[in-house]
Amino acid sequence: MHEMSLCESIRTILEDEAAANAFKSIDVVRLEIGALSGVEPEALKFGFDVTMAGSVAANARLEIIEVPGQAWCLPCAETVLINARYDPCPSCGSHQLQVTGGEEMRIRELEVQ
Along the 113 residues of the chain, how does pLDDT read in single tens digits?
Answer: 589 999 999 999 999 999 999 999 999 999 999 999 999 999 999 999 999 999 999 999 999 999 999 999 999 999 999 999 999 999 999 999 999 999 999 999 999 98
> How many CB atoms sit inside 10 A of residue 48's CB?
22
DSSP helix/strand/coil, 69: strand
> How many CB atoms sit inside 10 A of residue 65's CB?
12
Residue pair 81/90 in contact by the 8 Å Cβ criterion? yes
| pLDDT value, residue 1 | 53
| pLDDT value, residue 2 | 85
| pLDDT value, residue 62 | 97
pTM of the predicted structure, to 2 decimals: 0.85
